[in-house]
C-alpha cells in the first residue's frame, strides 16, 4: 500500500489568503504551519491554547474561508503530520502526537462537500493498536504498519443490524483469509496475489463451535467524491469454512451496500432458514420465512409503492395476494398466482372505484379487461375485438383491434357524447379518411392517409369550423400541388404550388387586408443527373409603406441584382451596369454608404440548350471604397481580375491619409473581403 510523507513548505512569509493576516499569526505553534495541504488545499495549524493543543484547518483562499477546529490533543506535542493511502486514491491525513511519554495517532479525511475534515472513527482502533505496540513511533513506521492492512474505505459507516456480535465488529481489525475474483475463485488459483483486479476478500473475527464470524469486503465503483474504486463490507456471516467464497454460511447473516442494510436472516448449513427481512432501495421491508433455502409460507413484500401479502410455496407465489398502496394513495386490490405466474382474477381499486379488473391465464391477460386507459377483450395477452379507450378530458374512443393493432374505423366522442374524431386504420397505421370536429359538430380537419402518410387534399378549419384556414395537397407525406393558407377573415395568406415538399413557380403572401407582401419565384435547376428547386427570377418581400423593402433577381439559385431598404433607407444593393459591370454597395443603419465595390464579368451557363450570363461570378474590377459612419473615406483600393493592384490608400476619421507609410507600399498581399446579405 502506498504511503508517503507530506513535504512541508516552512517559513515566516505571509501566505496569500482572504484574511487580512494569518489566523495563526503571533500564536504559539505546536508544529510548523502547513500551507496548501495536499488533499484539500487547506492551511493546517496546531496552536497551543489554554486547554491544550488545538488543530485548525482553513480554506483561507476562499471568500468565506474561516478556521475550523480539526481536533484537540490536550497537553501534547505534535510530532509529525503526514499522509497514507489506505484505499483507492483518497489520501488520509495522519497526526502523530505525544503526551506524557505515550504516542497517539489520529486519522482524518477531507470532505469537499463540507469543506472540513472528518475524523475516521473506523480507523482509530487500528491507530490505537499501532501506538500501543510501539514505544517509539515515526511517520515511516506508521506508514509501514498501515501498509500491511488490506485496502478498506475507512470513511464508510456500517448500518446497524440489531445483532450485537455484528454491530460491535471493527472492520479494520480481524484476520485476513484471502482474496477472491468476481466468480468467487480464490485469488491464489490461476491469478497473482498482487492482481489489482481482485474483487473481494474475507476476514475472520471470532471462532466458536467450529464456525467463524466473517466479514466479506467487496470492491465497489467510485461513489460521490471517491477518486477510485474502494473496498467496503458487503456481507456479515457465521461460516464453517471461510476459505470458500460462499456456501458454508451457518448462523446469522447480513447483506450491506451503499451504507444501508439489504437483507438480514440466518443460514443453516449454507441454506437460508427461518425468518428473513429484505429491503429495497427505498428502505421498505419484505418479511417472511425460508425453509431449506426456499421461501415458504406467508410473506409480506414491500416496494416503493405497494405492500403485497400472500403465500409462497417453494419460492413461487401461490394463490391470492392482496395489495395495498403505501401512505395515502388509497389504492388496493389483489392478484392470483399459480406457481409464480399470474393465473386467475386480478383487481385494483382506487378511492373506492374499480380501475382495473380481469383474469390472467398462464401469465397472460385473457378475456374481458378493464384498465385505467380503457376496456376490452384480450386473447392470451393480445388485444382483440372492440375496445373503448379513454382520452384526456373524459372522452372515449371506440375501435377494433386485430393482433393488438388498431383496425378499421376509430370514432371518438367527448364527455358530452359529441363526435370529435374519426380515423381509419390498417394494421395499426392510419389508412383512409381522418376527420376532426368542433364541439358544435362542424368539421375542423379532413385528410386522407395511405399506409401512415397523408395523401391528397388536407383541409383545416377554424376551431368552430366556420372558416377554411388551409387547403394543402399532399403525396406520400410531402406537400405536392396547390398550397393555400387563409386568415380567419377568409382572406388568402399564402398562395403557392409545391413539388416534393418545396415551393415551385410563383409563391405569394398577403396581409390580412389582401395586400401583397411577398412575391417569390422558384424553378428547377439541373444538378448532374438530377434537378433541384431554387430561386429564379424576381423576388420581392417585406412590403411596407407602399413598396417592397427587398427586391432581387435570381438566375437558377444565384443572386444577380438586389435592392434592400429599411424604413426608406438603403441597406444593400447589387446593380447590373452596361458592359457586364456589377456594382455592389452596402450601407450603415442610418443609410450612410459603408462601401462600394465594382465588378465585371460573368459565367456562361447552358440550361436546356440555352445560354445564360450568371453575374454572381463577376470578379472585382476597378475601385473599391470603404467609408467611416461619418461619410469620410476610410480606404481605397483597385482590383484587376479579382486581384488587388498596388496597395490601398488609408485615411483616418478626419480624412488625413495614414497609409501607405513613408517608406512606401509594402509587398502586396492577397486581400479577400466577404460581405453577407
533-555: pLDDT as tens digits: 999 999 998 887 778 899 999 99
Banded model confidence at residue 609, pLDDT cuts 50, 70, 90: confident
Banded model confidence at residue 608, pLDDT cuts 50, 70, 90: confident
**What whole-number distance in Å separates Cα of residue 6 and Cα of residue 346?**
67
CB atoms under 10 Å from CB of 615, counted, come to 22
Q: What is the mean pLDDT of the chain?
A: 90
Please name the residues in contact with 645: beta carbons below 8 A apart, sequence gap of 6 or more.
Answer: 637, 638, 639
Cell numbers at 90, concatenated: 483518497
Banded model confidence at residue 19, pLDDT cuts 50, 70, 90: very low
pLDDT of residue 15: 37
Least confident of 138-147, 225-234, 351-360, 657-666: 225-234
CB 512 within 8 A of CB 491: yes
For residues 281-292, average pLDDT: 93
Calculate Rg over the CA atoms of the chain.
Answer: 42
Banded model confidence at residue 338, pLDDT cuts 50, 70, 90: very high
For residues 339-351, average pLDDT: 96
Model confidence over 69-83: pLDDT tens digits?
999 999 999 999 999
**What whole-number distance in Å separates Cα of residue 405 and Cα of residue 522?**
43
Cell numbers at 272, concatenated: 437460508
CB 249 within 8 A of CB 267: yes
Q: How many CA atoms lie within 13 A of 37 on its CB side?
A: 27
Cell numbers at 129, concatenated: 493498536
* pLDDT higher than 60, residue 677: no
Banded model confidence at residue 329, pLDDT cuts 50, 70, 90: low
Model confidence over 436-445: pLDDT tens digits?
999 999 999 9
* pLDDT higher than 60, residue 17: no
Please name the residues in contact with 327: beta carbons below 8 A apart, sequence gap of 6 or more.
Answer: none
Beta partners for residue 321, in sequence order: 335
Question: How far are the Cα atoms of 82, 101, 104, 172, 673 from residue 135, in angstroms, in the given order?
Answer: 19, 9, 10, 22, 83
* pLDDT higher than 60, residue 676: no
Percent composition of the chain: helix, strand, coil (DSSP 3-state, to 5): 5, 60, 35
pLDDT of residue 195: 55
Burial 568-584 (b: 16+ CB within 10 A, else e): eebbbbbeeeeeebbeb
**What whole-number distance in Å separates Cα of residue 636 and Cα of residue 658?**
12
Q: What is the distance between the terminal CA atoms of the chain, rounded to a whole angstrom?
A: 67
For residues 381-386, average pLDDT: 98
For residues 566-581, average pLDDT: 94
**What whole-number distance in Å separates Cα of residue 554 and Cα of residue 590?**
27
For residues 27-54, average pLDDT: 93
pLDDT of residue 328: 63
Least confident of 86-95, 545-554, 626-635, 645-654: 86-95
pLDDT of residue 166: 96
Cell numbers at 356, concatenated: 382495473
Q: Is 427 helix (H, G, I), strand (E, B) or coil?
A: coil
User: Widest CA span of the chain, in angstroms?
Assistant: 113
* pLDDT higher than 80, residue 175: yes
**What whole-number distance in Å separates Cα of residue 555 and Cα of residue 606?**
12
More confident residue, 255 or 227: 255
pLDDT of residue 22: 87
Burial of 399 (0-12, 13-18, 19+ CB in 10 A): buried
Handedness of CA 553, 558, 563, 567 (dihedral sign): positive
For residues 190-212, average pLDDT: 77
Tell me how many degrees the CA angle 403-406-411 measures, rounded to the nearest 5: 145
CB 206 within 8 A of CB 223: no
Amino acid at each position: 500500500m502506498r504511503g508517503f510523507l507530506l513535504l512541508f513548505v516552512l517559513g515566516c512569509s505571509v501566505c496569500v489568503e482572504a484574511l487580512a493576516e494569518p489566523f495563526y499569526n503571533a500564536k504559539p505553534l505546536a508544529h510548523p504551519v502547513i500551507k496548501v495541504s495536499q488533499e484539500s488545499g487547506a492551511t493546517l495549524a496546531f496552536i497551543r491554547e489554554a486547554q491544550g493543543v488545538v488543530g485548525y484547518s482553513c480554506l483561507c483562499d476562499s471568500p468565506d474561508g474561516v478556521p475550523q477546529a480539526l481536533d484537540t490533543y490536550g497537553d501534547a506535542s505534535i510530532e509529525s503530520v503526514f499522509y497514507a493511502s489506505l484505499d483507492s486514491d483518497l489520501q488520509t491525513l495522519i497526526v502523530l502526537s505525544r503526551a506524557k511519554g505515550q504516542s497517539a495517532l489520529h486519522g482524518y479525511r477531507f470532505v469537499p462537500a463540507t469543506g472540513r475534515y472528518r475524523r475516521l472513527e473506523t480507523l482509530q482502533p487500528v491507530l490505537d493498536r499501532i501506538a500501543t505496540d510501539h514505544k517509539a513511533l515515526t511517520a515511516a513506521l506508521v506508514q509501514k504498519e498501515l501498509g500491511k492492512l488490506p485496502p478498506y474505505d475507512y470513511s464508510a459507516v456500517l448500518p446497524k443490524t440489531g445483532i450485537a456480535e455484528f454491530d460491535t465488529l471493527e472492520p479494520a481489525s480481524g484476520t485476513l483469509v484471502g482474496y477472491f475474483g468476481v466468480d468467487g475463485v480464490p485469488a491464489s488459483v490461476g491469478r497473482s496475489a498482487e492482481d489489482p483486479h481482485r474483487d473481494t476478500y474475507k476476514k475472520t473475527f471470532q471462532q466458536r463451535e467450529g464456525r467463524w464470524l466473517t466479514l466479506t469486503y467487496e470492491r465497489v465503483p467510485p461513489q460521490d467524491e471517491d477518486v477510485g474504486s474502494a473496498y467496503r463490507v458487503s456481507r456479515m456471516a457465521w461460516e464453517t469454512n471461510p476459505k470458500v467464497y460462499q456456501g458454508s454460511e451457518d448462523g446469522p447473516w447480513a447483506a450491506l451496500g451503499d451504507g444501508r442494510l439489504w437483507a438480514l436472516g440466518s443460514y443453516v448449513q449454507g441454506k437460508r432458514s427461518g425468518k428473513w427481512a429484505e429491503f429495497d432501495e427505498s428502505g421498505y421491508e419484505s418479511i417472511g420465512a425460508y425453509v431449506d433455502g426456499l421461501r415458504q409460507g406467508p410473506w409480506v413484500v414491500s416496494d416503493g409503492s405497494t405492500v403485497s401479502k400472500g403465500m409462497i410455496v417453494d419460492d413461487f407465489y401461490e394463490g391470492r395476494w392482496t395489495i395495498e398502496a403505501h401512505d395515502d394513495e388509497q389504492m388496493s386490490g389483489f392478484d392470483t398466482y399459480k406457481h409464480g405466474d399470474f393465473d386467475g382474477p386480478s383487481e385494483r381499486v382506487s378511492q373506492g372505484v374499480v380501475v382495473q379488473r380481469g383474469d390472467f391465464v398462464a401469465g397472460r391477460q385473457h378475456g374481458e379487461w378493464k384498465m385505467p386507459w380503457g376496456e376490452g377483450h384480450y386473447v392470451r395477452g393480445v388485444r382483440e375485438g372492440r375496445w373503448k379507450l379513454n382520452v384526456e378530458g373524459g372522452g372515449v374512443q371506440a375501435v377494433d383491434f386485430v393482433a393488438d393493432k388498431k383496425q378499421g374505423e376509430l370514432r371518438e366522442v367527448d364527455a358530452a357524447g359529441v363526435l370529435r374524431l374519426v380515423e381509419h386504420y390498417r394494421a395499426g397505421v392510419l389508412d383512409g379518411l381522418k376527420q376532426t370536429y368542433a364541439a358544435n359538430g362542424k368539421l375542423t380537419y379532413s385528410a386522407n392517409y395511405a399506409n401512415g402518410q397523408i395523401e391528397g387534399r388536407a383541409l383545416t378549419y377554424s376551431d368552430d369550423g366556420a372558416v377554411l384556414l388551409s387547403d394543402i395537397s399532399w403525396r406520400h407525406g410531402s406537400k405536392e400541388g396547390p398550397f393555400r393558407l387563409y386568415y380567419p377573415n377568409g382572406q388568402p395568406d399564402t398562395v403557392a404550388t409545391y413539388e416534393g415538399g418545396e415551393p415551385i413557380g410563383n409563391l405569394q403572401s398577403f396581409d390580412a387586408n389582401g395586400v401583397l407582401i411577398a412575391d417569390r419565384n422558384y424553378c428547377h435547376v439541373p444538378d448532374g443527373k438530377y434537378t433541384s428547386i431554387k430561386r429564379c427570377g424576381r423576388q420581392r418581400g417585406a412590403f411596407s409603406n407602399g413598396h417592397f423593402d427587398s427586391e432581387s433577381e435570381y438566375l437558377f439559385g444565384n443572386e444577380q441584382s438586389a435592392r434592400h431598404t429599411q424604413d426608406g433607407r438603403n441597406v444593400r444593393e447589387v446593380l447590373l451596369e452596361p458592359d457586364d459591370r456589377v456594382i455592389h454597395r452596402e450601407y450603415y443603419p442610418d443609410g450612410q454608404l459603408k462601401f462600394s465595390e465594382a465588378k465585371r464579368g460573368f459565367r456562361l451557363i447552358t440550361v436546356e440548350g440555352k445560354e445564360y450570363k450568371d453575374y454572381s461570378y463577376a470578379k472585382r474590377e476597378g475601385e473599391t471604397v470603404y467609408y467611416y459612419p461619418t461619410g469620410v473615406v476610410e480606404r481605397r483600393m483597385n482590383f484587376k481580375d479579382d486581384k488587388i493592384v498596388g496597395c490601398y490608400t488609408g485615411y483616418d476619421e478626419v480624412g488625413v491619409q495614414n497609409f501607405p507609410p513613408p517608406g512606401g507600399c509594402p509587398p502586396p498581399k492577397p486581400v479577400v473581403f466577404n460581405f453577407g446579405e
